[in-house]
A and B are shown apart, each in its own frame.
Chain A
Amino acid sequence: MTLFKRLFSVLLAVCFANGVMIQTAQAALVSTEQVARVAATDASAHQRLNDMLARADVQAELERLGLSPDLAKERIAALTDSEAAALAQQIDSAPAGGIIGAILLVFFVLLVTDILGFTKVFPFTRSVR
């Protein structure tokens, strides 16, 4: 795993260095696409998760399960940037229509971790520890 990570980071560094060299060699002005790419990574994954939560079908499912959208928002706010990015990516890679399933899966995992005492997301759970 560490070997993989190391190889991967070397690969990434090489790619990045190449990219930079090509950029400086080609253009003096920073292109709009470059700016957009930086802006997109900056725009926090939190925002994208909240956008997903704002969807009517997602909210309806949450309500059906008795989870308030506000609570879901609070939980998302509690995630770190990288956690939120991982979650958003997981949801993105879900097949079309499977998005709700993916979001709910996350909430069930959180429910279980709440009960185990690793997290405290839902007020109605009582930790077993």
Chain B
Amino acid sequence: MLALLAALAGCAVQTPRLLGAPPADLPLRVELTATPFFPQEEYQCGPAALATALSAIGLPTRPEALVDRVFLPGRQGSLQIEMLAGARGRGAVATRIPGTLEAVMRETHEGNPVVVLQNLGLSWAPSWHYAVVIGYDLDAGHFVLRSGPMERQELPFSTFEHTWDRGGHWAFVITPPGALPATASETEATQALVAFEHNAPSHAAARAYQGALARWPDNLTLAMGLGNTLYAQGDKSNAAGVFRDAAQRHDDAAAYNNLAMVLLELGRRDEARHAAERAVSLGGPFQAQAADTLRRVNE
């Protein structure tokens, strides 16, 4: 019974619904014709797809320049995590988008090419492939991709869904810092930006956090990211403002701790003491750090 169900799970379920009742706010046809094309070298669809998406947002990149970063010669392929890291290494934010065909369509409508992982073979005999979706045609029922050696591949919705389904519905969009994919969830966007901060110069990371906070003002991680990156740039007074706002909004120990440290460096020792005391009394996973901060404030 279970084996049968597992077999059934491979059916294209999104395509009939989508073609039967397409979202009213999406145009019938989208094609990002200005997206550059890099015909892939042997097995190197990963670097080619990534170079395509990077160049499309104004970061001209040749696939050869990415090979060292994202290609594993022994596996004749690229790891998903390294595809995201490779984009960050070039100064772009790489955000995963929901695994729905509608999200892919919506992103192309917003002008964002979508990098997708496909399994062109069968689940038990996989043939992994990265390609870039640049549009769709609802009347003809196909997606348009830059894929491998093909500059313009028309792939029927159901075929695309099958191959993408077997790739785990994995897709991401590359944006310049400050912008985010329209369909990205708060969780995915936050994850993408924390990772971006890890690789990026602090001014770019600050801009990225600022953009995301405009969309999700209640997100503590984003606020902390903005405060930390402003601080890293040496902009202590604005960092203090951001930490204070986050501390009050979320009554959070980490925010109070960072506020206290920045205030102390600004020479506002009394305010710093208040913040540090609050951080200590809130406890939690950063208890030790908060106690340390309070000790410094009282030195």
In the complex, A56→B293 CA distance in Å? 48
Is B254 within 8 A of A30, CB to CB? yes
What's the minimum C-beta distance from B217 to chain A, rounded to whole angstroms? 15
Per-residue A-contact encoding for B161-187, CB less than 8 Å = 1, 0 else: 000011111100000000000000101
Q: Is B65 an interface residue when CB atoms closer than 8 A count as contact?
A: no
Given A29-B257, A105-B2, A56 contacting B197 (CB threshold 8 A): no
Are the CB atoms of B14 and A56 closer together than 8 Å?
A: yes
How many interface residues does B have (CB within 8 Å)?
46
Determine if B210 is an interface residue (Cβ-Cβ < 8 Å): no
Once bound together, how far apart are the Cα atoms of A43 and B185, in whole Å?
A: 13
* A53 interface contact, C-beta 8 A: no
Chain B: minimal CB distance from A112 (Å): 12
Q: Which B residue's beta carbon lies closest to that of A21?
A: B288
Contact status B288-A29, CB under 8 Å? no
Q: Are B289 and A30 in contact (CB under 8 A)?
A: yes
- What are the interface flags for A30-58 relative to B under an 8 Å C-beta threshold, 1 for contact and 0 otherwise? 11111110110001000000010001110
User: Closest 4 A-B residue pairs measured CB to CB?
Assistant: A96-B168, A60-B13, A30-B254, A32-B225
Residues of A within 8 A of B17 (CB): 56
Q: Which residues of chain A are near B187, meaning CB under 8 Å?
A: 43
Q: How long is the Cα–Cα vector from A108 to B167 in the complex, in angstroms?
A: 26
**Contact residue among B99, B123, B194, B285 (Cβ-Cβ distance under 8 Å from A32):** B194
CB of A117 within 8 Å of the partner chain: no
Contacts of A100 in B (CB 8 A): 5-6, 9
Residues of chain A whose beta carbon lies under 8 Å from any beta carbon of chain B: 20, 23-24, 28-36, 38-39, 43, 51, 55-57, 60-61, 64, 96-98, 100-101, 104-105, 108
* Whole-angstrom CA separation of A56 from B8 in the bound complex: 14
Closest residue of A by beta carbon distance from B252: A35
Cα distance A126–B231 in the bound complex, in angstroms: 62
Q: Which of B6, B167, B292 has the most CB of A within 10 A?
A: B6
- Contact yes or no, A57 B165, CB < 8 A: yes
Contact present for B285 and A101 (CB under 8 Å): no
Contact B261 A28 (CB under 8 A): yes
CB distance from B71 to the nearest CB of A (A): 21
> Which of A23, A30, A51 is close to B224, meaning CB atoms less than 8 Å apart?
A30
Shortest distance from the beta carbon of A93 to any chain B beta carbon, whole Å: 13
Residues of A within 8 A of B191 (CB): 36
- Chain B, residues 79-103, CB within 8 Å of chain A (1/0): the string is 0000000000000000000011000
Judged by a CB distance under 8 angstroms, whether B35 is at the interface is: no
Name A39's contact: one of B169, B221, B258 (CB within 8 Å): B221
CB-defined contacts of B286 to chain A, threshold 8 Å: 30, 34
Q: Is the CB of A56 within 8 A of B123?
A: no
Q: Tell me the bound Cα distance from A24 to B5 in angstroms.
A: 51
User: Which A residues lie within 8 Å of B14 (CB)?
Assistant: 56-57
Question: A39 and B165: CB pair below 8 A?
Answer: no
B189 to chain A, nearest CB (A): 12
Question: Is B44 interfacial (CB-CB < 8 Å)?
Answer: no
Known contacts: A29-B261, A55-B99. The answer to whether A101 contacts B5 by CB under 8 A is yes
In the complex, the answer to whether B292 meets A24 with C-beta atoms within 8 Å is yes
Give the residues in chain A near B123, CB-CB below 8 Å.
Answer: 97
- Chain A residue nearest in CB terms to B279: A30
Tell me the complex Cα distance, A98–B8, Å. Answer: 11
